[in-house]
Amino acid sequence: MAIRGDFLTTQEVSDLLGVEARQVRALAETGSITRVARGIFDRTSVERYRAERGSRLTRTWAERTAWGAIAMLSGAAPRDLGDVQTYRLRATLREITDPAELAIRLRDRATVTTWSGHRSVIGRVREELVVPGRQRLGLVEDETVVDGYIHADLIADLVRRCHLGEDSTGSITLRYTHMDIDFINYLSAFNRTLAAVDAATSLDPRERGVGEQVLNRRLELFRENVRP
């Protein structure tokens, strides 16, 4: 029997992600999805995993490569990539036509965690993050929600100072990465590409659609402007 509402059975997760039951259990062990009881899983964590990784195997880029791809699509120079890596990445980007595939390939740019905290700390948390911003995509900002990037070395201190608790349904999304945070801030302010990458894996269908639409246009522009 299916579990309704906020929970899924092992079989339902297996069907949704297209993996075997043993892989579902392995995902729970690594914290990729949240198990709330034996054979029962948090629906939001599973849907977020699916949005970010897809239901089939897609080769993803390493963190540095992912940020290089975002830089290229933004029209900026990539960081920390050699000439050969840059050439290969440029060639691969020219071959990608599906924005959903692109979003999955870019998933390892940061580790996504969700947290809850007192509403009084939302503003303080936002000030310490690089927040690409929904409004740049024509979406309405929710002042009770914060979603942004932070360097991996700083997340523990932020969580401690703001008394945050990890929560799969929390309103605070911290995306931590080892990439230079100033470079991420530069990309965020440069144009809408990074905001679109984040939106393309949203659980909200409208937001996801907007993100994919912007990414599709960025891919088209890249193919038009970059020679083979």
Flag the least confident range among 31-45, 102-116, 208-222.
31-45
At residue 66, the pLDDT reads: 97
Asked if residue 226 belongs to a domain, the reply is: no
Assess whether 43 and 117 both reside in one domain.
no
**In which element (H, E) is residue 175 found?**
strand 172-177
* pLDDT above 60 for 186: yes
Structural domains counted in the chain: 2
Assess whether 196 and 129 both reside in one domain.
yes
At residue 19, the pLDDT reads: 80
Assess whether 34 and 115 both reside in one domain.
no
Question: What is the distance between the alpha carbons of residues 116 and 128, in angstroms, rounded to a whole number?
Answer: 16
**Sheet with 111-116, edge to edge strand ranges:** 146-151, 172-177, 111-116, 165-166
Assess whether 194 and 113 both reside in one domain.
yes
Assess whether 115 and 194 both reside in one domain.
yes
Give start and end residues of each alpha helix (H) in 96-192: 99-105, 122-127, 155-161, 181-190
Average per-residue pLDDT for the chain: 89
Mind listing the pLDDT tens digit for each residue in 159-182? 999 999 988 778 999 999 999 999
What is the domain range of residue 11?
7-53
* DSSP 8-state class, residue 106: T
More confident residue, 101 or 219: 219
Flag the least confident range among 45-59, 151-165, 167-181.
45-59
Last residue of a domain, one of 34, 53, 72: 53
At residue 3, the pLDDT reads: 43
